[in-house]
Structure 1
Amino acid sequence: MIKKFIAVLIFISGTSFSQAQNNITVENIYTMPSVNSPVLSPKGDKLIYITNEPGKSNPQSLILLDLNTQKSETILNTGSDPQWSPDGQKIALRANLNGKSGIHVLNLNDKSTKFIAQINNSNHFLGHSANKNYAWSPDGKSIAFVSADLSSAPTVDPSAPKVIERILYKSRTSFSDNRLTKIYVANLENGEIKTLTQDIYDSHSITWSPDSKKIAYISNHTADPDANYNNDIFIVDIATSKIEQITKTPGTEHNPNWSPDGKYILYPATVRLRNTKDSSGEDMKLYTYEVATGKITCITQNLDERLDGAKWTNDSKSYYFGFPKNGKRVLYKGTLNSEIITPIVDENASVGRPTTGGNKIAFTKSTPSQPNEIYITSNEGKTVTQITQLSTNWLKDKTLAKNEDFWFQSHDGVKVHGFIAYPANVAKGVKIPVIHRIHGGPHGAFGFSYTDINEILVANGYAVISLNPRGSSGYGQKFTDGTYQAWGGGDYLDLMAGIDYALEKYPFLDANRMGVTGGSYGGFMTNWVVTQTDRYKAAVTSASVSNLISFYGTSIYPDLIETEFNGMPWDNYSLLWHFSPMAHIKNVKTPTLIIHGENDMDVPVTQAEEFFIGLKKLGVPTKFIRYQNEGHGFTQQKNRLHNNQQLLAWFNQYLK
């Protein structure tokens, strides 16, 4: 009996005594240190960044690195979003210090801190690209910040009946607090705080004019901002609080950036009449607004890439920008007076947003075998130096997956990109089980970056296939539009063609032991897949959509259905029902684990409930795990750990 019990434990965990003890596991993955938020000083001689080292008494640290001497020091054990003062003598950051939460300024000369302003939160959802940021004035005398106006919504008795009168009455994890987001300016000399935007509209995504007299920002001043996503750019005068609207387009503007010479405001935008706060099907372009004339120019008209912002060079003649490209995230340089773009970092990696100072550019970079580390170049990418080694050192004694990418032709000849991760030591003639992961969006994409769950699955003897079917971003606008009015159409056929190709290309993949999984849109597609084929022996669907019609009225994204299916559901009922997994649930034979956060308002838990009850009524093996106090993506480590353990156990049960 004892020997039998041990054997069962080994089988369930997916490990064996012969395996190395240095595998990545569902438990130790949360001990890996990480870095984020690198910011170069104005002269480029210093760098600040944040580290997180789980297990330490003070896991989070704000690090100051002198790039001339290569000496580093921890200057705080708290804080986020650090920013240099224009003179390079101080650092502002969001933190809770001495019982005060908000913006603090750290003086590097004596390491003293000063509380500047409290930041009040609003949970009202303004869109994934809405930047509730703060920024130093270029003269260093003020800090502008985005904060909620507590007086804009009365305090409500939580036990009282809810009287709802607006479309977006939900936030991402609860009900909207209805607090307006406004722009404020704190005077650093006398401590006074001034409210700049005193209208009835949410304001965010601020950028200063170089003379410190004005701020450009984003707002939606239509009759009912809940009913559309028509953001525009506005300018507010600091002295008078006078507001001017400078764009009046039917599309959506995002995150303006004022040029150092004051002549232009650079911003990404869309032009289509319908857009969504969630996963936009339209690839944004970069535009300039000429301050003196009001002229608006698209400066990337001929660039068929998904752009999301840019960083000016000091001379205001050029800009750095990143974008997804064939599974990579690259960093390029463009110029205002020409359509020529120059690669700074274009390799099989994922490059983060750049920060500049002096002649240097700093950024984070991840590859399939390495999580984010910080890199710097002083000659625009000709040589690049790795600055941090935290995750690199942690992984030195770990057994990592072998990663490759491949291209295949889909059913109609369209070329599609895919990735595979698998154990490096698969013996010849051995067959191993396969997990097919499906990304969210629908306009997300897999790529050349480190992925925890891939490493966990490979360490447990699986191969992982990740495909970028039509609808994925980074392959041009036509490809991104491939799911328009057809979720589960061409993208599903691409996925099946990709699996067929991988099974042929990699003979160690076991076609008889395949599982499928995904979250959000990947969860929708997982549900769709098991209604269309029984080639998979197990499925794990997370935060998934199962009914496009009921999803429309319960999600915080009614605009997603309107955009993706070109109209209102009552005009597209038959089409929406056809592409709903619930319409085909009688076909399901695949054992399916359903995972969902109970506070998810992106994809409400009712979507999981519908699919679960349907599967139970049909007698399909299924289990439904609901996570309390979690939304669309889990924030609590204990729940992330439990989620991965359950996913692994489900696949082990049916595939091993």
Structure 2
Amino acid sequence: MSEKKRPLKADDLTKIDVYSDPRFTPDGSGFAFVSMTVNDKKEYESHLLFQRLNEKYPSCWTFNEAKNSNPRFSPDGKKVVFQSDRSGVPQLWLLHTDGGEAWQITTFKHGAVNPVWSSDGKSIIFSASLEKGDDVTNQEEQSKEEQRKEKEDKSKKPIVITRLKHKSDAKGFHDEKYSQIVLYDIEKSTFKQLTDGEAHHNFEDISPDGNQILYTANLNEDADYELTNDLYLLDVPTGDTTKLTDSTGGYGSASFSPNGNRIACFGHEYDYLGATLNELYVLDINSGERTLFSKGWNFQLGDAMIGDTRLGQSELGPVWDENGKHLYFIGTDHGSTGLYRVSLDNAELETLYEENNHVFGFSYHKGEFILGISTPTDPCNFYHLNSQGKLKRLTNANEEFLGNVTISEPEELTFKAEDGWDIQGWLIRPYGFEEGKKYPFVLEIHGGPHAMYGQTFFHEMQLLAAKGYVVLYTNPRGSHGYGQEFVNACREDYGGKDYTDLMSAVDNALETYNFIDQDRLGVTGGSYGGFMANWIVGHTNRFKAAVTQRCISNWLSFYGVSDIGYFFTKWELGKNLLEDPAKLWDFSPLKYAVNVETPLLIVHGEKDYRCPIEQGEQMFTALKHLRKEVEFVRFPDANHELSRSGKPEMRIERLNHITRWFEKYL
């Protein structure tokens, strides 16, 4: 480790460029992508960049202080459509690829997002949030002052709730607007609304001939009580709609084959409820036959990796090749994500790229790929993977930053759980590590619980190491990456073997590494990890400090206050409040508050609708009433995503409180 480099700081997260959404040009000679940064105003800003494969550095296509994203090339490569919130809400803009100013093509009151070109380049299909009776041919954008006034007026009116699904963590309380699919005719500069009704219609793809639209939705009468998501086929000329699935599962990431006769998608039928692995299906449009191609794969399709520097979406697949013979997609396996291919002739699965790191997105063109890759020591970069499997680095994101800051390489480890199961984890040594010294230790626990720690950059982990802590993070049972039985194993057993997996991880670290001070152990986690931090301090006193973040403390109240509580409680614990309140109380960390001797810091967002702040508040009140050592930090205007996409200044403040607490007690 070079001591010439300084240790990482909390506010360094504002210095990291985050790349996402690579998109090949139609001729395959270059690619566009999105770069997210934090500007001088401490606000997120994203721009479109472009780079040819034979160039060393990208050029910037947008320059304003706004969030520009979702670049999509026209079929002839002469234009790019993208979305930008420079006018106050996201709208669609067009840009000539040979230079010049972008021009705005939508002025929808509530914005327009996720544009896609038709294959003939004559139309752009996008999504818009519309109210009943809205006229897409006469949409007028509000000024920023009108937007401010409407928001102020809305805050003074009561909210009338009649639906079970009336709020979500990302959007807050729902209103009467629904996502609809709209077609823009470029030559005529006209708009046509393709879907309507009181349901969200999620655009998936347009057929090669432009006559069919593929979307997902729940259009059933009991949609308010269901969690299914069906595939629908809309005939554009006639307006006729065909339902392709039978309301027994959830489907998405769907796309047409090059000849338009088949559809590939991810999905599953909730065999293990929220712990069910994704499957890969191909549907024949003419016969209605659905073929399962992922039988026996036993790993998660898509990206289940957790990190705190991944802002922006990227392609995960499935993506067809130009001949309709193969599908490409990202898969999650043993702490890594990689690029995979399946043959539609024989269902043979191939690993095209997997190098013990995090492939967070890709773009495909005639046997070649742009891969977005993150490693534990590199937040992000793009690479060219050619048809012979040779990998070439294309970008140098964060080169100056990484040249000045010490980033530690984690050490991978595998240990045995109490029942003999193999558990994977990683350990980071502290900054300036010296043999013979003893160091304090922090155990990190991820949320989900069905997610995965792994080989990606994690600012929070690196910060704790920079502050002088040994950092351990693991994937206890319930995590993705280790097959269906493993990810399902924590259901109805929260605080059981998942808890002993974590304690075995600590025991193993203490036995393996003699530089850990067993008298200075700390623990932290968020969401499910917050539940587990609460559970741990109620069941053992071995930790000298704990930080619980966006936690769950009381499953009885969680059922009625969380945006997912009414189904998640049953999914994960086997019963809901109305069926077995005694069982839920046994699973609640609040029940064991009297046992807590560990100083506990509670960190929570005021607008967290996933794990509402009353969960943290109950834990604080109980511990304070019992005269325990506890502190409660509430973040205004912050939701469940505080640590990942919250306001930059609040994210920094959160990290400062966490490190302050550990410095005080460890």
Asked if TM exceeds 0.5, the reply is: yes
**RMSD across aligned positions (CA):** 2.3
Instruction: Name which of 565, 568, 572 aligns with 2:573.
Output: 565
Match of 1:92 in 2: 81
Over 3 Å counting, the alpha-carbon distance change for 1:138 and 1:474 in structure 2 is same
Match of 1:419 in 2: 426
Between the aligned partners of 1:393 and 1:359, the Cα distance in structure 2 is 33
Instruction: Name which of 51, 55, 63 aligns with 1:77.
Output: 63
Match of 2:106 in 1: 117
Once the two structures are TM-superposed, the CA of residue 400 in structure 1 deviates from its matched residue by: 1.9
Query: What SS does the aligned partner of 2:250 have?
Result: coil
* % identical equivalent positions: 30
Match of 1:126 in 2: none
Once the two structures are TM-superposed, the CA of residue 198 in structure 1 deviates from its matched residue by: 2.0
Structure 1 contact 600–630 (Cα < 8 Å) conserved:
yes
Q: How does 1:65-214 map to 2 (within 5 A)?
A: 65-68=51-54, 72-78=58-64, 79-96=68-85, 101-118=90-107, 121=110, 133-151=114-132, 157-172=154-169, 174-214=172-212
Between the aligned partners of 2:88 and 2:608, the Cα distance in structure 1 is 31
Higher mean C-alpha displacement, 461-470 vs 416-425: 416-425
Once the two structures are TM-superposed, the CA of residue 118 in structure 1 deviates from its matched residue by: 3.9
Match of 2:31 in 1: 47
Between the aligned partners of 2:570 and 2:195, the Cα distance in structure 1 is 31
Match of 1:9 in 2: none
Q: Does 1:495 align with 2:493?
A: no
Query: What SS does the aligned partner of 1:456 have?
Result: helix
Match of 2:353 in 1: 345
Instruction: Name which of 607, 610, 613 aligns with 1:605.
Output: 613
Query: What SS does the aligned partner of 1:440 have?
Result: coil
Between the aligned partners of 1:185 and 1:650, the Cα distance in structure 2 is 53
Over 3 Å counting, the alpha-carbon distance change for 1:237 and 1:155 in structure 2 is farther
Q: Does 1:289 align with 2:287?
A: no
Between the aligned partners of 1:62 and 1:313, the Cα distance in structure 2 is 26
Q: Does 1:648 align with 2:645?
A: no
Structure 2 contact 251–268 (Cα < 8 Å) conserved:
yes
Match of 2:145 in 1: none
Between the aligned partners of 1:555 and 1:98, the Cα distance in structure 2 is 33
Instruction: Name which of 364, 369, 393 aligns with 1:386.
Output: 393
Once the two structures are TM-superposed, the CA of residue 274 in structure 1 deviates from its matched residue by: 7.4
Between the aligned partners of 1:230 and 1:633, the Cα distance in structure 2 is 24
Q: Which amino acid in the other structure matches residue 338 of structure 1?
A: N
Give the unaligned 5+ runs of structure 2: 135-150, 303-316
Structure 2 contact 5–406 (Cα < 8 Å) conserved:
no
Structure 2 contact 320–327 (Cα < 8 Å) conserved:
yes
Q: Does 1:302 align with 2:299?
A: no
Q: Which amino acid in the other structure matches residue 159 of structure 1?
A: K
Match of 1:368 in 2: 376
Q: Which amino acid in the other structure matches residue 163 of structure 1?
A: V
Between the aligned partners of 2:59 and 2:432, the Cα distance in structure 1 is 41
Q: Which amino acid in the other structure matches residue 372 of structure 1?
A: C
Structure 1 contact 152–180 (Cα < 8 Å) conserved:
no
Q: Which amino acid in the other structure matches residue 168 of structure 1?
A: K
Between the aligned partners of 1:205 and 1:40, the Cα distance in structure 2 is 21
Between the aligned partners of 2:607 and 2:482, the Cα distance in structure 1 is 34
Q: How does 1:455-494 map to 2 (within 5 A)?
A: 455-494=462-501
Between the aligned partners of 1:155 and 1:653, the Cα distance in structure 2 is 42
Higher mean C-alpha displacement, 421-430 vs 102-111: 421-430
Once the two structures are TM-superposed, the CA of residue 363 in structure 1 deviates from its matched residue by: 1.8
Match of 1:62 in 2: 48
Structure 2 contact 576–584 (Cα < 8 Å) conserved:
no
Q: How does 1:467-546 map to 2 (within 5 A)?
A: 467-546=474-553
Query: What SS does the aligned partner of 1:255 have?
Result: strand
Once the two structures are TM-superposed, the CA of residue 50 in structure 1 deviates from its matched residue by: 2.2
Q: Does 1:38 align with 2:22?
A: yes
Once the two structures are TM-superposed, the CA of residue 191 in structure 1 deviates from its matched residue by: 1.3
Q: Which amino acid in the other structure matches residue 286 of structure 1?
A: L
Over 3 Å counting, the alpha-carbon distance change for 1:72 and 1:365 in structure 2 is closer
Once the two structures are TM-superposed, the CA of residue 84 in structure 1 deviates from its matched residue by: 1.1
Structure 1 contact 401–422 (Cα < 8 Å) conserved:
yes
Over 3 Å counting, the alpha-carbon distance change for 1:559 and 1:392 in structure 2 is farther
Higher mean C-alpha displacement, 304-313 vs 58-67: 58-67
Match of 2:343 in 1: 335
Between the aligned partners of 2:246 and 2:507, the Cα distance in structure 1 is 48
Higher mean C-alpha displacement, 168-177 vs 494-503: 168-177
Between the aligned partners of 1:69 and 1:401, the Cα distance in structure 2 is 30
Instruction: Name which of 228, 244, 251 aligns with 1:253.
Output: 251
Once the two structures are TM-superposed, the CA of residue 406 in structure 1 deviates from its matched residue by: 0.7
Structure 1 contact 134–143 (Cα < 8 Å) conserved:
yes
Once the two structures are TM-superposed, the CA of residue 133 in structure 1 deviates from its matched residue by: 3.1
Between the aligned partners of 2:560 and 2:133, the Cα distance in structure 1 is 26
- For 1:427-447, what per-residue CA distance to the aligned partner results, in whole angstroms no more than 9, with x for missing partners? 222110000000000111110
Structure 2 contact 79–95 (Cα < 8 Å) conserved:
yes
Between the aligned partners of 1:503 and 1:152, the Cα distance in structure 2 is 65
- For 1:550-607, what per-residue CA distance to the aligned partner results, in whole angstroms no more than 9, with x for missing partners? 1011011022112223443321322221111011111111100001100110111010
Structure 1 contact 117–186 (Cα < 8 Å) conserved:
no
Structure 1 contact 289–297 (Cα < 8 Å) conserved:
yes
Between the aligned partners of 2:28 and 2:298, the Cα distance in structure 1 is 33
Between the aligned partners of 1:288 and 1:97, the Cα distance in structure 2 is 39
Higher mean C-alpha displacement, 390-399 vs 450-459: 390-399
| Superposition TM-score, scaled by structure 2 size | 0.90
Give the unaligned 5+ runs of structure 1: 1-17, 123-130
Q: How does 1:211-226 map to 2 (within 5 A)?
A: 211-226=209-224
Once the two structures are TM-superposed, the CA of residue 148 in structure 1 deviates from its matched residue by: 1.0
Once the two structures are TM-superposed, the CA of residue 35 in structure 1 deviates from its matched residue by: 2.0
Between the aligned partners of 1:587 and 1:20, the Cα distance in structure 2 is 46
Q: Which amino acid in the other structure matches residue 47 of structure 1?
A: F
Between the aligned partners of 1:338 and 1:542, the Cα distance in structure 2 is 47
Over 3 Å counting, the alpha-carbon distance change for 1:503 and 1:224 in structure 2 is same
Over 3 Å counting, the alpha-carbon distance change for 1:71 and 1:590 in structure 2 is closer
Query: What SS does the aligned partner of 1:64 have?
Result: strand
Instruction: Name which of 584, 596, 601 aligns with 1:588.
Output: 596
Q: Which amino acid in the other structure matches residue 639 of structure 1?
A: M
Structure 1 contact 132–205 (Cα < 8 Å) conserved:
no
Q: Which amino acid in the other structure matches residue 544 of structure 1?
A: C
| Superposition TM-score, scaled by structure 1 size | 0.91
Structure 1 contact 152–178 (Cα < 8 Å) conserved:
no
